[in-house]
Every structure is written in C-alpha cells, then in structure tokens.
Amino acid sequence: MIRKIALALGGLILFYSLYLGWRIAEERRDVGARVDALIAAAAPDELSLPASRLDALLRVDDPTFRTNRGIDLSTPGAGLTTLSQALGKRLFFDGFEPGLAKLELMVLTRFALYPKVPKDKVLTAFVAEAYLGTHRGRAVTGFADGAQTWFGKRLSDLSNDEYLSLVAMLPAPDRLKPGRDDAARAERVTRIRRLLAGRCQPTGLRDVMLEGCS
C-alpha cells in the first residue's frame, strides 16, 4: 500500500513538473510582448513617477526588487509576493487564486518573466497595472487610475501623503481603500513614513503591514 501511494505521488509530481515546464515554455514565447502592450496601453503621463516615489514604492513593497529574481523569501517586510509576482498574476492567470497556483506563480515569475523582461519594464508595467481596489463595481487598475478614482487628481498632482496612501493600499486594496478603513490606511502611511526615514524596521518577512514601525 505504501509503495502504491509513493508511486502515485511520484507520478503526480512528475506530471506537475512536466506541466510547469510546458507552462514556462509557453509563457516565455510572448511575455515580453505582453508587457510591452500593457505599457503601450497607458498614456506616458500615467507612468511618470519621480525616482524618489519609485524608490519609496520599492522600499516598502519589494526592497530587493533590483537584485532578486522574482522571489524573495527572507527580506523583512517583503511578504510572500514580490512586485514581479504581483505583475505575474496579471500576466499568467485569468483569475489568480491562492493555493497551488502560488507555486506556479513563483515558478513562472522566476523562469518566464525574470529572464525575458528587464526590471525597469516590470516596474513600469506594475505602475500601470497594480490593483488598487474596486469602486462602484469597477476594478481600479494602475496608479494613475488610483489617483483619479480615489483623489480626483492626476498621478503627477498627488501630494506625498496621497501617493503613500496608494502604496499603503497594496497589501489589502479593498480593505484599505478610501471610505472603507481610513484609520488603518492612515496608520500604515505613518508607518511607511517611519520606515522611509530609517526610524524602524519590519519584524520579519510577513510583516507587510509594518507592525515593527507602529
């Protein structure tokens, strides 16, 4: 019985490994073109963030973005989903659901997105496609859409606190969107400010809400 179970598990692992290999090969074919299309669909002014604001986004959401290969399972505050993986959800899945798909997301990000798309393009596409909650039944997609929807402003006209409010929403957009839990969002903005000022550090990998900066 144990041998049969072991053989069955081995067969499943082999099948899944072959499936992942096929998925990697398929996604590598045109992932670069799809990222280019996402960027091209956005107006240039919707993607123009000053270097200081891009730096703030990365320090909060993906501290090792410039050097990691789409996976970071050790940096305090990084969480389990890198910025590259967040974009990967949009590129590789019609509707991402946690579970086994998380492993698939990590593999596709590492072996399909990372080798084929330069980091600067990944970052630009993320700015264009980041999910920032729903408003009246419509998904708010991208920082420019978030600026207009939640603050009635162009992205370039946001105050620093308004911009950090969008960054603060990223771990839980529908809970932290304006009008839902304003106190929690404001508290996370305060924590982000402390982090950016070098006054605190997250307590560990999963501390995406920055409890270490409370």
Q: Is residue 24 part of a domain?
A: no
Q: Minimum mean pLDDT among 5-14, 61-70, 78-87, 159-168: which range?
A: 5-14
Q: Is residue 68 part of a domain?
A: yes
Domain residues for the domain of 104 are: 30-213
Q: Is residue 197 part of a domain?
A: yes
Confidence of residue 9 (pLDDT cuts 50, 70, 90): confident
Question: What mean pLDDT, rounded, does the chain reach?
Answer: 93
| pLDDT over 70 at 24, yes or no | yes
Give the residues across from 138 on adjacent strands. 135
Confidence of residue 81 (pLDDT cuts 50, 70, 90): very high
Distance in angstroms (rounded) separating the CA atoms of residues 75 and 139: 30
| pLDDT over 80 at 201, yes or no | yes
| pLDDT over 70 at 7, yes or no | no
Q: Is residue 7 part of a domain?
A: no
C-alpha 116 chain-centroid distance? 18
What's residue 44's pLDDT? 83
* Radius of gyration of the chain, Cα coordinates, nearest whole angstrom: 19
| pLDDT over 80 at 2, yes or no | no
Distance in angstroms (rounded) separating the CA atoms of residues 71 and 214: 27
- Closest to 19 (Cα-Cα) out of 141, 108, 94, 117: 108
Q: Is residue 44 part of a domain?
A: yes
Number of domains in the chain: 1
| 201 exposure class (CB count in 10 Å sphere: 0-12, 13-18, 19+) | middle
Q: Is residue 12 part of a domain?
A: no
Q: Is residue 23 part of a domain?
A: no
Q: Is residue 182 part of a domain?
A: yes
What's residue 4's pLDDT? 64
What's residue 75's pLDDT? 96
Write the CATH number for 77: 1.10.3810.10
What's residue 8's pLDDT? 61
- In the structure encoding, which two tokens stand for residue 208, read together? 């995406």
pLDDT in tens, 83-111: 999 999 999 998 888 888 999 999 999 99
pLDDT in tens, 25-49: 999 999 999 999 999 998 887 888 9
3-state secondary structure of 77: coil
